[in-house]
Amino acid sequence: MTDAAIVTAQGVSVELSGRAVLRDVSLALSPGHLVALVGPNGAGKTTLLRALAGLAPSSGAIVVRGDALSSLSLRERARRFAYLPQGHIVHWPLPARDIVALGRYPHGATDPARLSPGDAEAVQRAMRAADVFEFADRRVTELSGGERSRVALARVLAVEAPVILADEPTSSLDPRHQIDVMKTLRSAADQGTLVIVVTHDLGLAARFADTVLVLSDGRLVSQGAPVEALSEQVMANVFRISAYRAEFQREAVIVPWAEI
Amino acid sequence: MSIHNGLQAVLATADVAARRRASVMAALVVVVVLLLLLSLGVGPVRLSPLSVIDALFGGGSDVAQVIVREIRLPRAILGFAIGAMLGLSGAALQGLLRNPLASPSLFGAPQSAAFGAVLVIALGLADVRSWALPVAAIAAAFASVFALLAITGRNAGLLILILAGLAISSLAGAATALVMNLSSNPFVVLEIAFWLLGSLEDRSFRHVLLALPFISAGAVILLSQRHAFRALSLGEETAQSLGVDVGVLRLMVITGVALGVGGAVAVSGTIGFVGLVAPHLMRPLIGHDPTRLLVPSALTGAALLLSADVAVRLIPSTSDIKVGVLTSIIGVPFFLYLIMRERRALSGGVA
């Protein structure tokens, strides 16, 4: 896996106002994988995502497609990492299609009313993949939470970046929308994108991810295929719970069950 | 198939919106041109639009030429440029802070600029028509906006911004009052007091020359950042992840607003609330996109100030009403109306 890695981190640490939030994290991730980043609240999941995107100052080395992150311009970073923050904030009631078109901003398409044919096609592909056509013309502030999350997802897909970083894209969504979002991200991974998803839902992580990274207190304590990375011992030590484990339709099922 | 139809419909609606924006822009340009002609025609000697155009291009009587080209033209140019700059600054600040109640005057920028200028006048460092005046005004405006953003921090809510803005404009007002208080020359004090009210009366091309370079530079800087405002709709972090250097953007907006407002205040005194009102008038017509609002808000600001400046010449009164007084008299109730309309969001404490 290391030889074909698209993103590698060597000894990455992050301090926020004097407190170590991320300690010495090293990893190597390959294209075409869906990676779930899990861990208790405050473990540093969002910080790791932000450090990878270059949004949080970190020490250590991060390399993307052979280039050191620190050597890349903001725009070049924006083309390599599509970042989906928590909460899908939109401050003005803009039409959904304009939000999706902002995904082409890193490629120089600054005006959604004047997209080049290539950019317009990318926007359409993204809107189709995230299924937002029916409300593309409505203002995002008028949409339901589920619809808004699809718009945000389409915006990230429209970047057509080799790496997608998604911070809790399924939180506050109903089960159907959670599965929709994960399937959309899964198919992006199947088309060759590296998708890193922060989630608290161990069930979704076990079912959809190729790799699970477990963070605890700023350290990477476990990584691997879901069933191994989320072993009984890790669940006990990191999350202090036991889980029900099974297999359904040949996919791993992990359901958090009881506190330890 | 349904996707295709949906796409067609989407493109059609986008097209309608674009056409609507274009016609609003055309209408604004027409209104501003008419107001410019009106501004050149209205005064003690009334001239018809046709004789104004005639005089402007060297026709008509000598008297008409002097009135139009030397007395009223500088005033009209300043009305246009200052109004446009205030509208643009308001739209840019609202875009930067993602907040519809942001404006230069609520944040104390013109008041601070006035303090800078007053200090220069009172200390006798320069007369009212020297370059020192706009430079001092710009420096003070820059300091005030910079201080505001430094005090309120990155993702400041509305409450914090308004409170800090209130404090800064009060401080600038108090400092101005102190300067006048300590000044030994009563004529200087009177001159300052009237100048503070904000007016475009008796301005010459010397004033235009003084203000226009700074206003133009400020406008160019603000417009150069226009696309970043749209990306900023998604929040600072997401904008950064899309390649917008938010730190640079903030600095550019502060600089642009300070140059424009400082340059304007140096020749006209404080003219408030144009920057707050202009973007609000445009949102129902243009939409909420902060990038698309910039130029229409500038034109609306120009139209507002030009009509206010025509109005002060038409309102019958024993002594002349200052245009800055008129814009505040109209602007403050409008601000109160905005607060009433948005009070649910305001009482929630979130912007």
Smallest Cα distance from B230 to chain A, Å: 8
- Which residues make Cβ contacts (< 8 Å) with residue B140, sequence separation at least 6? B112, B113, B115, B116, B117, B172, B262
Size of interface A-B (CB pairs under 8 A): 91
Instruction: Out of A91, A102, A133, name the one closest to residue B3 (CB).
Output: A133
Residue B43 lies in a domain: no
DSSP string, A101-165: HGGGGGGT---TTS--HHHHHHHHHHHHHHT-GGGTTSBGGGS-HHHHHHHHHHHHHHT--SEEE
Residue B98 lies in a domain: yes
A134 interfacial to chain B (CB closer than 8 Å): yes
Mode of pairing for the β-strands spanning A34-38 and A194-198: parallel
The answer to whether residues B117 and B188 touch, using CB atoms and an 8 Å cutoff, is no
Residue A103: closest C-alpha in chain B: B242
The mean-pLDDT minimum among A102-106, B40-44, B150-154 falls in: B150-154
φ and ψ at A121, to 5 degrees?
A: -65, -40
User: What would you report as the CA-atom Rg of chain A, rounded to the nearest whole angstrom?
Assistant: 18
Instruction: Out of B230, B240, B291, name the one closest to residue A55 (CB).
Output: B240
The residue length of chain B stands at 351
Inter-chain touch A106–B242, beta carbons under 8 Å: yes
Does residue B12 register a pLDDT over 70?
A: no
Mode of pairing for the β-strands spanning A19-29 and A219-224: unpaired
> What is the span of the domain harbouring residue B226?
71-347
Instruction: Out of A75, A111, A133, name the one closest to residue B243 (CB).
Output: A75
A75 interfacial to chain B (CB closer than 8 Å): yes
Residue B33 lies in a domain: no
Residue A104: closest C-alpha in chain B: B242
Q: Which residue has the tokens 């206010």?
A: B308
Best residue of B11, B232, B234 to probe chain A, by most A CBs closer than 10 Å = B234
Mode of pairing for the β-strands spanning A211-216 and A194-198: unpaired
Q: How far apart are CA B273 and CA B328, in angstroms?
A: 6
Residue B41 lies in a domain: no
A77 interfacial to chain B (CB closer than 8 Å): yes
**Can you give the pTM of this predicted structure?**
0.90
Residue B333 lies in a domain: yes
Tell me the pLDDT tens digit for each residue of A193-223: 999 999 999 999 999 999 999 999 999 999 9
Instruction: Out of B9, B18, B243, name the one closest to residue A105 (CB).
Output: B243
Residue B27 lies in a domain: no
Residue B35 lies in a domain: no
Does residue B8 register a pLDDT over 80?
A: no
Inter-chain touch B230–A128, beta carbons under 8 Å: no
Please give the span between the terminal C-alpha atoms of chain B, in angstroms, as a whole number: 41
Q: Number of structural domains, chain B?
A: 1
Instruction: Out of B10, B233, B235, name the one closest to residue A136 (CB).
Output: B10
Smallest Cα distance from B245 to chain A, Å: 7
Does residue A2 register a pLDDT over 70?
A: no
Positive or negative: CA dihedral A46, A51, A55, A57: positive
User: Which chain B residues are Cβ-neighbours of A97 within 8 angstroms?
Assistant: 10, 14
Does residue B135 register a pLDDT over 50?
A: yes
pLDDT of residue A84: 96
User: Which chain B residues are Cβ-neighbours of A103 within 8 angstroms?
Assistant: 242
φ and ψ at A7, to 5 degrees?
A: -125, 125
Computed over every residue of chain B, the mean pLDDT equals: 87
Inter-chain touch A89–B230, beta carbons under 8 Å: no
User: Which chain A residues are Cβ-neighbours of B227 within 8 angstroms?
Assistant: 105, 110-111
- Give B91: exposed, middle or buried? Use CB within 10 Å, 0-12, 13-18, 19+: buried
Inter-chain touch B241–A53, beta carbons under 8 Å: yes
Residue B243 lies in a domain: yes
Smallest Cα distance from B139 to chain A, Å: 31
What 8-state DSSP symbol labels residue A81? E
Does residue B347 register a pLDDT over 70?
A: no
- B8-27 core/surface letters (b: 16 or more CB in 10 A; e: else): eebeeebeebeeebeebbee
Any idea what the CATH number is for the domain that residue B189 is in? 1.10.3470.10
Tell me the pLDDT tens digit for each residue of B27-81: 999 999 999 999 999 988 888 888 888 888 888 888 888 888 889 999 999 999 9
| B15-24, B132-141, B284-293: which is most confident | B284-293
pLDDT of residue A88: 84
Listed residue (A167, A110, A59) closest to B226, CA to CA: A110
pLDDT of residue B190: 84
The answer to whether residues B115 and B151 touch, using CB atoms and an 8 Å cutoff, is no
